[in-house]
Chain A
Amino acid sequence: MGFMRKWIERLRNLAFPEKAAEQTLDEMEFHLEMEIQERVARGVPPDEARRQAMRDFGGVDRYREQVREARWGTGLQDGFRDARYAVRALIRRPTYSLLVLGTLAVGIGATTALFTIVDGILLKPLPYPEPEQVIRVENSWNGSPQARLSPPEHLDLVDQLEDWPGMGSYTFGSATLTHDGPAERARVAFVTAGVLEALAISPAMGRVFTEEEDNSAAAVMILTDGYWRSRFGADPDIIGKTVQVSGFEREVIGVFPPEFRMPEDLTSPTPTQFVVPMGFDPTISRDVRGNHFLLALARLPQGMTPEEGHQVLAAAGMRMVEAYPNGYPEDMGFRTAGVPLLDSLVGPVRPMLLLLLAAVGMAFLIVCANVANLLLTRVTGRTHELALRKALGAGRLRIVAQVMVESVLLALAGSALGIAVSAAFSEALVALMPAGIPRIEDIGLNPKVLFFGVGLGLLAGLLFSAAPAFYAGRENATATLKSGAQSTGDIQGDRFRRWLVVGQVAVAIVLTTGAALVTKSFMALAKVDPGFRTENIVSASVGLPSASYPTDEEVILFWEAFLADAAAIPGVTEVGAVTNLPLATRLGDMSFELEEERIPEGRDKPDSDWQVVTPGYFAAMGVRLQRGRAITSEDRPDSRGVVVINETMASTHWPGQDPIGRRIRLGGELTQPRWAEVVGVVDDVRHLGLDQPRRPQMYFAHTQFRFWANGRPVRSLTLVAQSSIQASGVQAALRGRLADRDPSLALSQITTIEDAFSNSIAQPRFASLLIASFSSIALVLALVGVYGVMMVAVRHRTREFGVRMALGAAPNALAGKVLRDGFKITLAGTAIGLVAVLASSAVIERFLFQVSATDPLMLTTTVLAVMSAAGLASYAPARLASRTDPILALKAE
C-alpha cells in the first residue's frame, strides 16, 4: 500500500514536474505570508514585517531547487531536460547539425553496410543442423593444394570413418529433363547416401535414398524445393511420379525442404535442381587411384573438433598412401585433409572482405575525428555560456553530462540515418558484387546488424564527445569570464584538434596508398594477355544424352553437323567447340610420358592440363597458332593421334628444340597406352584466371579422344562462335538451329567470352573500386579536418595576428606562418601514415598482383598528392590570416 503510493507519487512528480514545483512554490509563499502576519500581529509595521520575514526565509528559488533534489528521479529529469535543450540547440544550428549528421550517416552507413556483407558471408552459420560439425574432405599434392577425391579414395575413407555419423562424395553435372513440355537442361547433383547423412538433411516430403539404392544406382531422384515449385508447380502428388532424365525414367521419391542447399549452391548463381544417387559399385577394384573428381563431406562425431577430425583424416590418407604405393609416388606429396565447411566455402573471399572492412573501419575513424572536431569547436564556442552556468552553480558533472547528451543524441540520430543508408548501400554493393561470391542470398539486415549499427553510433558518440566533454568540464569559469574571447579551452582545444588531424592525415595516407596499390595491381591484372580474344565471341553448352546418342559415331556426327549449322548463321565467322571454357571452368590434368624419356617406377610423371577441341576452336577463340598446324577435320578417329600443345609445355619438355613431330604416351598403366604426335604449338591460355601462373596445356581432337574410364568420346562440349553481329542474335539463332536438329536438346550456360572475362576479374575490380571510394571519402574528410582546424586556429589567434600586424608584420608573413603550421600537421600525419604502411607492407602485399607494397614511385606519388591537397586545404585559412584587420581585431575584445 505504502509502497504503491510512494511510487505513484514519484512517477507523478516525474511526469508533472511543473505541477510539483508549483505546489512547492505555493506552500512557501503561504509560509512567508504566515510569518508576515505573525509579525504584524506582534506589532511590527507591515513593511518591516515583510522585510524581516523575507530576510529570514532566504531565496525561494534556492529552496525550490533543494526540494527538487530531495526527490527521486531528479537525475532522470535533468537528462530529459538536457535532451530537450540539446534538440533545441541542434535545431537552432541546422548547418552544424546537418554536417555532423551527414558525416555520421555516411560513416556509420558505409561501415554497417560492409558489416552486413561480412556477416552474411563469413559469420552466419550454414543452413545445416550443427553446421560446425560438417567438414570438407579434400586431398592435396604438389601443385594441387585443394584436390578432389577419386572413387577408390572415397570408398576407402567411408570404410575408415565407419563410426562417423556420415561421410560421402558428390559431383555436379547437367541433365536433360523431359516432363510435360519442352526439354530442359537442369543442374543435377550426383551424391552418395553419406552426403545426405553428413548434411543431416531430411526431406520435406517423401524420403531420401538408402545406401543400397545408392550402391545399385537406383533410378530415383529427389527434387529441391525451388525446382519442385518452378518446374512441377509444387505438385503435392509428385512423390512416386516418373520423369525422363537424359532419356531414362527416374522416380521422384522426395522433395527437400526450402532451406536446403548443396554447399556449392551457396557460391554459385545456378542452384542444384535435383539430386540422384551416385551409384558407385563398392566392389570395384581400388588399385586405380587417379581420376580425382569427387567433392567430399563428412559430419564429425559429437564432441570431436574439426582439428581432431582433420588429424583422423590425415592419418587415413597416410594409410592409403602406404596401402597403394604405386598410386601415390613419393615425390607426389599426397595428403588428405579436413577443413571446416564454412572455411572451405568462404575462405577465398575472406581476405578481400576483411581488407574492405579494414578500409571502411579506417574511413570511419576519420569520420569520428571530424565529428569530434566539429563538437570541440562548438564546445569551445560555448565556453562563455558554460562558464556562466558554472558560476551560477551548475556542477561540473552536470555540464559534462549536458555536452555528452548532445553528442549521444547526435550519435543515435546518426546511427538511425546510418542504418537506413547502409540498407541502401549494402543492396547496391550486393548488386555490384561479382558472380561467384558465396552466400550472397544470406546478406541482409538482421538484429545483429542493427545492434552493430547502433553500437557503432554509440561508440562514435562516446569517442567524439569524450574530449569535448572533458574540456567543457575543466573550463575554468573565472579565468574564462575575465579573459574575454580567448580562453584556455581554445588553446587546449586547438592542441587536441591538431592531434586529431594528424591522426586523420595518417589514416588517410594509409588508405590512399592502399587504394593506389590495389588499383595499380588491378590495372596490371587487366593488362595480362589472356591468350585469347575477348570480344564478339558467344558461347553455349550442349550435352548429348547416351540414350538418344548411344554410339561414338553418332556423337561425333552430331557435333560436326551442329557446328556446320552454327557456321551457317549469317554474321558468324568462326565456330569451334571445347570441353572447358577458359576462365569459367576448371581443368583436369593428365599425366603422360615422353617417347624419348621413360619415367622409372615410383617417380612422378609429368602432367598437363588437357582440353578436347573440334576443328575451328583456335580460330573461333582467337588462340594464336605459333607453329605447326591446328586440329583439323583431317584428324579422324582412325588416323594418326595428334595433340596441339601450348608454349609453356613446349618450353618445359623440349627447351630450345622443335617439339613438332615429338610423341607423348598417354594413359600409362590404366589402359592401353595411346600415342599422340605434337602437330602444333599455340599461345598459353590463362585458363584458371589472369593472376594464375602459366601451366602446360594440351589439346586433343574430339574425334580421337577417348575417356580412359569408358573408352568413349566427350558428349558435352561448349560451342564458341565469333561473329560480327549482336551476341543476342547469335544466341537466338543457335537455339533455333539446335531445336531444328534435335528438339529434345537444350542449350545451357549461354554467355559471351567478354562476360566470362569480365567476371574473372570482377572480384579484384570490385575490391579496388570499393577501396578507392572509401579512400576518396576518407581523404576528403581528412582535408576538411585540416581546413577546419586551421580555420579555427586562425580565428582564435585573430588578436595575436592583429598585434603582429600593428607591429609591422607583412600579411604574407602571417599567411606563410599559417601555411607552415598546416604543413607541420600534414607532415606529422604523413610520417606516421608512412610508417604504418611500411610496417604493414607484408599484409598489403598478399592482396597485390605484380606490385610491391613498398613501390617507391607509388608511395612518393601518394604522399605528394596528399600533402599538396592538405596545402590547398590550409590556403583559405592562410588568406584569412593575411587579411586580419589590426583595428578590428583589437577592438573586437
Chain B
Amino acid sequence: MSRRRGDVIKGTLDMLILQVLDREDLHGWGIAKRIQQSSKDVLQINQGSLYPALHRLLDRGWVRSVVGESGGGRPVRVYSLTTDGRKQLKSERETWGQLSAAVNLVLGTG
C-alpha cells in the first residue's frame, strides 16, 4: 500500500491520542475529529488504527474508559487520561521534540 498524505507516522498516533485526551475527555469519534481539526485536516485518522490504538492504551493503563453520553444522548465509551498516561505523554513529547529537531537539522529546514 502506498503512503498517502495525511497518514499518521507509525508510533505517533499514541502520542496524538494522549495529547488530545490531555485537554478533554472524548469518545473515539471525537478523538479522530479533534486530531483532524487541530492538524487543519492534514492528519486523517483511520478508524482501523484508532480503535486498536485506544485498546492498546487501555491495556497499558495510560487511558481509562467510562460509559458516558454522546451529544445525541446515546451511551458511548468516553476515554480520559490517567496519571501514568500523563507521564507517558510528557516523555513522548520530549522524545518527539528531540526527534523533530534532529530531522529538521538534517533537512536544513530548522
Give complex CA distance A2, B58 in Å. 11
A10 within 8 A of B: yes
Tell me which residues across on chain B come within 8 A of A27, comparing CB atoms. Answer: 27-29, 51, 76-77
Interface segment among B16-24, B59-67, B89-97, B99-107: the answer is B59-67
A23 at the interface (CB under 8 A from B): yes
Chain B neighbourhood of A10, CB < 8 A: 59
Q: Would you list 10 pairs from A and B whose C-beta atoms are within 8 A, ordered by A residue?
A: A26-B75, A27-B76, A28-B51, A30-B27, A30-B28, A31-B32, A63-B48, A67-B55, A71-B58, A71-B59
Residues of A within 8 A of B98 (CB): none
Q: How far is the CA of A6 from the CA of B89 in the complex (A)?
A: 17
A72 interfacial contact with B, CB 8 Å: yes
Which B residues touch A62, using CB under 8 A?
Answer: 48
Residue of B32, B58, B84 ringed by the most chain A CB atoms within 10 A: B58
Q: Which residues of A contact B32 (CB under 8 A)?
A: 31
Whole-angstrom distance from the CB of B83 to the nearest CB of chain A? 6
- Bound-state Cα–Cα, A6 to B28, Å: 20
The 10 closest A-B pairs by CB, nearest first: A6-B61, A2-B84, A70-B52, A34-B29, A2-B61, A70-B56, A31-B29, A70-B55, A66-B52, A67-B55
A58 and B55 alpha carbons, distance in the complex (Å): 19
* Inter-subunit contact A70/B59 (CB<8 Å): yes
Closest to B76 in A: A30
B47 within 8 A of A: yes
Contact indicator B61/A5 (Cβ below 8 Å): yes
- Report Cα–Cα, A131/B82, bound state, in Å: 63
- Interface residue? B40 (CB, 8 A): no
Q: How far is the CA of A27 from the CA of B67 in the complex (A)?
A: 10
Q: Is there contact, CB below 8 Å, between A58 and B47?
A: yes
- 1/0 per residue, CB under 8 A from A, across B20-56: the answer is 0000000111001000000000000001100111011
A24 sits at the interface (CB 8 A): yes
Q: What CA separation (Å) do A58 and B49 show in the bound complex? A: 11
A87 CA / B32 CA spacing, docked (Å) = 43
Chain B contacts to A: CB under 8 angstroms: 27-29, 32, 47-48, 51-53, 55-56, 58-61, 64, 70, 74-77, 82-84
- A63 to B54 CA separation, bound complex (whole angstroms): 12
A residues neighboring B (CB under 8 Å): 1-3, 5-6, 9-10, 23-24, 26-28, 30-31, 34-35, 56-58, 62-63, 66-67, 69-72
Across the interface, do A58 and B29 meet the contact criterion of CB distance under 8 Å?
no
Residue from A1, A9, A24, A56 within 8 A of B51 (CB atoms) = A24
Could you tell me the distance in whole angstroms from the C-beta of A58 to the nearest C-beta in chain B?
6
Complex Cα distance, B76 from A5, in Å, reads 20
Give B58's nearest chain A residue, CB to CB.
Answer: A9
Cα–Cα distance between A31 and B59 once the two chains are bound (Å): 21
Q: In the complex, A9 Cα to B66 Cα: how many Å?
A: 12
* Chain A residues closer than 8 Å to B76, beta-carbon distance: 26-27, 30
With A30-B70, A56-B47, A70-B59 known, 14 other A-B pairs at CB within 8 A are A2-B61, A2-B82, A6-B60, A24-B51, A28-B47, A28-B51, A31-B28, A34-B29, A66-B51, A67-B51, A67-B52, A70-B56, A71-B55, A71-B58
CB distance from B69 to the nearest CB of A (A): 11
A23 touching B59 in the complex, CB below 8 Å, given contacts A2-B82, A5-B82, A70-B52 = no
Tell me which residues across on chain A come within 8 A of B70, comparing CB atoms.
30
Check if A63 sits within 8 Å of B51, measured CB to CB. yes
- Closest chain-A Cβ to B106's Cβ sits at a distance in Å of 33
Q: Which residue of A lies closest to B83 (CB)?
A: A2
Minimum Cβ distance to chain A for residue B68 (Å): 11
Among B32, B52, B75, B83, chain A packs the most CB atoms within 10 A around the CB of B52
Would you call B61 and A63 a contact (CB within 8 A)?
A: no
Closest-by-CB residue of A relative to B71 is A34
Given contacts A6-B59, A31-B28, contact A1 B83 (CB under 8 A): yes
> In the complex the two chains form, what is the Cα distance from A57 to B44 in whole Å?
12
B47 pairs with A63, CB closer than 8 A: yes
Q: Considering the chains assembled together, what is the distance between the CA atoms of A26 and B75 in angstroms?
A: 9
Q: Which residues of A contact B58 (CB under 8 A)?
A: 9, 71
Instruction: Evaluate contact between A3 and B61: CB separation under 8 angstroms.
Output: yes
- Chain B residues with CB under 8 A of A9: 58-59, 61, 64
Query: Which A residues touch B51, using CB under 8 A?
Result: 24, 27-28, 63, 66-67
Question: A35: which B residues are within 8 A, CB to CB?
Answer: 29
Q: Which residues of B contact A70 (CB under 8 A)?
A: 52-53, 55-56, 59
A691 to B75 CA separation, bound complex (whole angstroms): 90
In the bound complex, how far is the Cα of B52 from the Cα of A9, in angstroms?
15
The CA of A1 and the CA of B82, in the complex, are separated in Å by 10
A868 to B55, CA, bound (A): 66
Cα of A66 to Cα of B82 in the assembled complex, Å = 24
Q: Give CA–CA (A67, B48) in the complex, Å.
A: 9
Quick check: B52 and A26 within 8 Å, CB to CB? no
Which of A24, A30, A66, A71 meets B29, CB within 8 Å?
A: A30
